[in-house]
Amino acid sequence: METTTKINITRHIKNPLITPKDVKPLRDDFTVECVFNAGVARYKDEVILLLRVAERPKQEDANKLRVPILRQKGDTFEVDIHTLDRSDAAYDFSDPRKVKQKDIDTYVYLTSMSHLRLARSKNGVDFVVEEKAFIFPSNRYEAFGTEDSRITLLDGVYYINYTAVSDKGITTALAKTTDFESVERMGIIFTTENRDVTIFPEKIGGQYFALHRPVPKQIGRAEMWTATSPNLTHWGEHQFLMGVDSVWESLKIGGGAVPFKTEKGWVEIYHGADRTNRYSLGAVLLDLEDPNKIIAKTKEPILEPEAIYEVEGFFGNVVFTDGVLFEDNIVKIYYGGADNVIALAEIHIEELYRALGV
């Protein structure tokens, strides 16, 4: 006898809200491949999305691959295009997203370079995408791109953490803005290999608090940890929070949206991938005073790839969130579909409590 009621989560009728054709490439010789995984903030009367925009050089010859990479030129960094011969046995071209150098068994190019770009909306649904970058790769740790961002409002300052990728590894960097016009970089806060960092919007026990997701090489798996900080730039007191669990999250898990506060605890919408690399979203409820304590966790995903724009795209079968708005008891989940588009799903907090069993 089946007693589970399907979770009542509503995809927005206008989904997908933003697609690559809504985004102008920064350069005429590049195309926009993907727009996805946006940081989310409410700023004055606007909803802000900090989009991850992946652009790649226009290709001219099917036997070649033109790849973007940042190179230092004097004191500044500029995007170069390297042309690789697809018959070059030194490289492995089998993954459409990246190129591996065989002898050192590591990826040495991505096929696209991501930057972070603002989109603004009055109603949270119809967005205007800016034509310029907000955070563009500009140092050695960003040579392969700047990726998924999360935005946390703390004492009037919007802190933006994002993934900085280079030949030195996948790291998490921090920046801040007060006006979404100018932005100041604050350096690397989690060293390689770490992404899916979400900073809580309040101090807890006198310290800043974050979820992070280290990826170990030899022992262990891609799972969620916590850390504290006295100042947002230096992090420690690392603790393991939760690991891979049900089938839908059996390959890896990681933080998703910036956690939001409810009367029952901190709610974190996180992602899990199964063994086929199908990414879904779950929720976990953490203790208000000590987020290292898990109160409840959804057994099944609250959102999984089902719509066409989630199932098919640059990297199919993916829903992935970097941010939500929690307003009027509705959780508005902005998410990437198929690593390709921006979409929105809404769930009432009472329904989320029900899914959490609290």
Q: Please say which residue, 107 or 334, places its beta carbon nearer to a second copy.
A: 107
Q: Please say which residue, 121 or 191, places its beta carbon nearer to a second copy.
A: 191
Stretch that binds a second copy, among 115-123, 218-226, 301-309, 326-334 (CB under 8 A): 218-226
Supply φ then ψ for residue 43, to 5 degrees: -130, 115
16 closest CA partner among 109, 117, 119: 119
Kindly state the tokens that stand for 344.
Answer: 């929105």
Residue 144 three-state SS: coil
Q: Does 230 bind a second copy (CB under 8 A)?
A: yes
Residue among 14, 71, 132, 216 that touches a second copy (CB under 8 A): 216
Side-chain half-sphere CA neighbours of 81 within 13 A: 14
Residue among 59, 178, 239, 329 that touches a second copy (CB under 8 A): 239
Q: Does 238 bind a second copy (CB under 8 A)?
A: yes
Q: ∠ CA 332-338-85 to the nearest 5 degrees?
A: 145
Q: Does 233 bind a second copy (CB under 8 A)?
A: yes
DSSP secondary structure code for residue 191 in this structure: -
**How far apart, in Å, are the Cα atoms of 69 and each of 75, 139, 201?**
16, 11, 34
Binding pattern for the stretch 156-195 against a second copy, x by CB under 8 A and - elsewhere? ---------xxxxxxx---------------xxxxxxxx-
Residues 238 and 113: their CA atoms lie apart, in Å, by 31
Q: Which of residues 97-116 bind a second copy (CB under 8 A)?
A: 104, 106-107
Q: Please say which residue, 220 or 357, places its beta carbon nearer to a second copy.
A: 220
Stretch that binds a second copy, among 38-46, 70-78, 111-119, 236-244 (CB under 8 A): 236-244
Cβ of residue 263: shortest distance to a second copy, in angstroms? 30
Question: Would you say 223 and 253 are in contact if contact means Cβ atoms under 8 Å apart?
Answer: yes
Q: Please say which residue, 7 or 186, places its beta carbon nearer to a second copy.
A: 186
148 closest CA partner among 130, 173, 112: 173
Cβ of residue 186: shortest distance to a second copy, in angstroms? 9
**Sign of dihedral through CA atoms 304, 307, 308, 310?**
negative
Element (H, E) at 355: helix 349-356
Q: Does 69 bind a second copy (CB under 8 A)?
A: no
Q: Please say which residue, 16 or 214, places its beta carbon nearer to a second copy.
A: 214
Kindly state the tokens that stand for 260.
Answer: 């939001």
Q: Please say which residue, 15 or 114, places its beta carbon nearer to a second copy.
A: 114
Question: Would you say 150 and 176 are in contact if contact means Cβ atoms under 8 Å apart?
Answer: no
Residues 195 and 163: their CA atoms lie apart, in Å, by 6
DSSP secondary structure code for residue 292 in this structure: T
Cβ of residue 216: shortest distance to a second copy, in angstroms? 4
Q: Does 227 bind a second copy (CB under 8 A)?
A: yes
Cβ of residue 218: shortest distance to a second copy, in angstroms? 6
Residues 334 and 258: their CA atoms lie apart, in Å, by 11
Residues 324 and 198: their CA atoms lie apart, in Å, by 12
Residue among 31, 229, 246, 292 that touches a second copy (CB under 8 A): 229
Task: List the alpha helices (DSSP H) in 153-219.
Answer: none
Q: Does 44 bind a second copy (CB under 8 A)?
A: no
Cβ of residue 227: shortest distance to a second copy, in angstroms? 7
Q: Please say which residue, 96 or 357, places its beta carbon nearer to a second copy.
A: 96
Q: Does 203 bind a second copy (CB under 8 A)?
A: no
Q: Does 290 bind a second copy (CB under 8 A)?
A: no
**Interacting residue ranges for a second copy, rule: CB under 8 A:** 104, 106-107, 140-141, 144, 165-171, 187-194, 212, 214-221, 223, 225, 227-231, 233-240, 243
